[in-house]
Every structure is written in structure tokens, then in C-alpha cells.
Amino acid sequence: MRFLLKPLTVIAGIALAVCCFVAAGAAQSPAYTGPRTADHKPDLNGIWQAMNTANWDLLPHTAQGGPVVSLGAQGAEPGGLGVVEGGSIPYLPEALKTKAENYKKRFTDDPEIKCYMPGVPRAVYEPFPFQIVQSAKVVMVSYEFAAASRTIFLGTAPTVEESWMGTSAGHWEGDALVVEVTKLIDRTWFDRAGDFHSDALHVTERYTPINHDVMQYEATMTDPKVFSRPWKISMPLYRHLEPNARLMEFRCAEFIEELLYGKFRKKSGS
């Protein structure tokens, strides 16, 4: 036994030294610093997409069938783990009733069905890609769904009226692009589950590069007319790496003409 103690002591000492070295290395690892633009800011140019089911429901949800039985699995809703920090949305009591009514009518009243522009933050996690084109003064974002777009002004945004995509004023906090979004109309939803907001919605977004092909997206919603406190969603966004990556056309207005305007068409022979 006396002869085993020394080797065991040596082994334990080596193991402890290795652990300390690894811990020290992890603590001292520098934050990711990727490619930079001409003004030395993180280069966010590219085509990005969220890979989750937040557009169906921001909260955790199981898979379920869709409204058209004949579509089978093609029309079904995939399950998801949810993207809301804390796992719940803090609705005020009356607003929660409205959310419940929206859910009942989600297959007819969701603005997405009518090809309306999705608003912020929903445009980010629609199941379509979007493109960022960045300069020193503005960041242009183009979305494939409904040909929506917005300009993020780096500094003070101009005074404009309320709109579907709102007004976006951005600034840099280290390597994170922080965007304050205001002037959003109240006709957009957060998802297909009927989560909604009022015209008092203020969204604070953060786009933070993790590595060259991934950035972390966060959005904090503040709306005292609908929610009892601010709440936040977060998710990774992934860069498209195909050599010929580009946005395709999805001008959905022509797909819903009959749905929205068919009743106004003249009957044949009239």
C-alpha cells in the first residue's frame, strides 16, 4: 500500500493540473471576431434563415394536424421547443382572452394567410430566408416572404407614420447590432397561434455573431397595452452557404387574389 500512494498522488496531481489548465484556457478564450466591413464593424452581409417552428407557435407545442384533412402530413403543424425565455408570454387578462379568440380563428384571421407583410420580429423567423446588405449608415434587410423589406438606420431614424414593418433605428454595442423598432401597426401577429400586440409595441432586437455562419438573434417585446411586462425570444440564425444562394420570388399576393377579392368579381354574363 505504501508503494501505491505515491503514484496515485502523482496521477491526482496531474489530473488537477490538466483541469486547471483547461479551465484557465476556457476562461481566457477570446470572443469570436470575424470578418469586418470597411468601417470595422462585424460583417453581417449574406442570406440568413431561422431553423425552428416559431412561426407556428412561439411557445412549446406538439405536432398536430392542419385544417385541410386531404393535405395529410403536408398540411400538418410540426412541433417545437419554443423560443420564449421563461416559457410563457405575460398577457394582461383581457388580452389573453383576445389571444384565445385569435387561436380559434387562426386558420382564417392570421395576417400571414392574406400575404400581409409579417412585421417585426415575425419576419425574422418566417420559414423563408432574408438578406442583409450592410453599409456604414444603413442596414438593408430584404425578406423573401411577401417581398417585405426594411431599412435599419444606424443613428436616428426619420419620423414616419406607422407601417407594417415599423421604423428601425440601430446602433452597435460591441459586436452586437442593436435595433429599436417602433411605429408598428397592430395588424400583424407574432405567430400562427394568434399571439398578437397593439400599436404600442416596441421591439428591441440584438444580432450578435457567434461564428462566421451563425448569429444569435434576440428580440424583447414591450407593449403595456397587451403585456404586463417585457418578454424576450431568442434563437440562432444560420447563413446560407450555397455558392449561388439568393432570395427567390415569393410574391404571394397573386396566390390569394381569389381568397380576398373573388367575391367582388363580376359573374359571367352579367
Type of residue found at 26: A
pLDDT tens readout for residues 61-106 = 999 998 888 999 999 999 999 999 999 999 999 999 999 999 999 9
Q: How far apart are CA 240 and CA 59, in angstroms?
A: 26
Type of residue found at 261: Y
pLDDT tens readout for residues 106-164 = 999 999 999 999 999 999 999 999 999 999 999 999 999 999 999 999 988 888 899 99
Q: How far apart are CA 40 and CA 34, in angstroms?
A: 10
Q: What average pLDDT does the structure give for the chain?
A: 89
DSSP letter (8 states) at residue 49: E
Q: What is the pLDDT of residue 8?
A: 47
Q: What is the pLDDT of residue 143?
A: 98
Q: Identify the residue with better confidence: 189 or 68.
A: 189
Question: How many CB atoms are located within 10 Å of the residue 138 CB?
Answer: 16
Helix, strand or coil, per DSSP, at residue 246 = coil
Strands of the chain (E only): list them: 46-50, 130-134, 138-143, 149-154, 167-173, 176-182, 202-211, 214-222, 231-239
Q: Which fold has domain 46-59+81-260?
A: Lipocalin (2.40.128)
Q: Please report, for residues 47, 116, 141, 168, the alpha-carbon distance to residue 242 in angstroms, rounded to integers and kept in the order given.
A: 10, 29, 19, 29
Q: How far apart are CA 248 and CA 191, in angstroms?
A: 22
Q: What is the pLDDT of residue 259?
A: 82
End-to-end CA distance of the chain: 107
B/e letters for 22-51, b = 16+ CB within 10 Å, e = fewer, are eeeeeeeeeeeeeeeeeeebbebbbbbbbe
Q: What is the pLDDT of residue 34?
A: 82
Question: Quick check: 1 pLDDT over 70?
Answer: no
pLDDT class of 22 with cuts at 50, 70, 90: very low
Task: Give the distance from CA 229 to its chain's centroid.
Answer: 20
pLDDT class of 257 with cuts at 50, 70, 90: confident
Contact present, 85 and 232 (Cβ < 8 Å): yes
**pTM listed for this prediction:** 0.85
Name the grid cell of 15.
489530473
Name the grid cell of 165.
414593418
Question: Quick check: 225 pLDDT over 60?
Answer: yes
Q: What is the pLDDT of residue 32?
A: 78
Q: How far apart are CA 153 and CA 59, in angstroms?
A: 31
